[in-house]
Structure 1
């Protein structure tokens, strides 16, 4: 509320009603649970953003929906992790957040495996303790060294052969 010009009476500004982008919100099915995976995602994302080894971490939305006109729209890709980021050493970070009883889909497991095999850091986290444990264990993982002197040494080795 703001003060009006005359007599200091409070002025109430009414916000315009927002229209729903994806159909009538009254027709949606009520939630059947208390969203434990959303709670895990919130906790994990906060832990990642405050961890000293993480340069940045953001929520990666993926999924699909049908518009009121019947058009099917997909965003992201199947198996993509809930959180994508980068470690301070330059490696890709991918974290799949799961509720205490949640399980990975085969596509999610494949994505995590692909990131790890390529030298990134990918894991499943259910809470902030998982984040700290996985990042601490991953800090000692061997890194792919892409320093210029390694390329020079390789080219010298190739020329000498």
Structure 2
């Protein structure tokens, strides 16, 4: 699943390879499966509707932060929790924004993959009132809707 490859102690899974994290990107994972003879038309990329939330103390110790949904492991928060939480100097958030989702869909399209799945729809901003940042998504089921909309557009296959 490409939506959560790096764990609670790191930022979100990047769409493309970055220095120092060449093997922890969505594009690498999909290309790896194709090199291992998986048929692209049978591969689906996971895109997360959740965020990772953690603290980082001065010594560099990282600890996940428990959200209000106690049935989720510490450090995993729903999108609506992440978006509605007031910023704090010692709490770090990592979640996919609109540009991240678009980049992952571009990988799906350019690599000829079967499609995407959202992990997990019940963690998406279901009423559209929590994520109000103008640079992000703010509509009901924002992640799910964005994935659907982007999958139904054409893309330049030169990624």
Give the TM-score, by structure 1 length. Answer: 0.25
The structure whose RCO (Cα within 8 Å, separation 6+) is larger is 2
Higher helix share: 1
Larger Rg, first or second structure (1 or 2): 1
